Amino acid sequence: MPESQETEEYLEAVVEGVYVTATGSEAVMLLGTDEWGDFVLPIWIGMPEALSIQKAMGQMDFPRPLTHDLLVDILERLNATIEKVTIDALVDHTYTATIYLRDNRSGSRHYIDARPSDAVAIALRVNAPILVAKHLKRYTVSISELLGRSQEGGEGKSI
């Protein structure tokens, strides 16, 4: 698909936050865009990925590299660049993502199927754009309602 056509189908997103769910065994990552206003796309993720995203956002630190740190170091040493990541679809209750990787030696591009949490954790480390498919807006929820409900119930605290 041509780059210009592809960009028209996606919106640049930011991580609005990562919150622990009521069970305490998983978290929810909230992605927002300027175009969606108060609405965010909630994506449920595992706790290790949540901690990795929090680290990439500068909200916590670990004495040793995490898996996503290691992957970024390997890619840099192989002279590869993460150009962007996309959150593409919801298939059978599972979000899909793609990591756009460029081999700077040969100029070739590779498209890597990934979980959104891994794609975002890597993108945040290298300051690569995070794009979300426009059609996923139908799965968004109001962040103020979501966080308002969570805080009233004692859930949704930031990790």
Segment 64-69 mean pLDDT: 92
Kindly state whether residue 26 falls inside one of the protein's structural domains: yes
pLDDT tens-digit series, residues 18-56: 998 888 888 999 999 999 999 999 999 999 999 999 999
Kindly state whether residue 13 falls inside one of the protein's structural domains: yes
Count CB-CB contacts under 10 A for residue 27: 26
* Domain tally, the chain: 1
**Cβ-count burial of 16 within 10 angstroms (0-12 exposed, 13-18 middle, 19+ buried)?**
middle
pLDDT tens-digit series, residues 110-152: 999 999 999 999 999 999 999 999 999 999 999 988 887 655 4
Phi, then psi, of 127 in degrees rounded to 5:
55, 40
pLDDT at 4 over 90: no
- 67-77 vs 47-56: helix crossing angle, rounded to 10: 60
| Confidence (pLDDT) at 6 | 56
* Domain hosting residue 24, numbered range: 3-78+117-152
Which CATH number fits the domain that encloses residue 19? 3.10.690.10
Kindly state whether residue 130 falls inside one of the protein's structural domains: yes
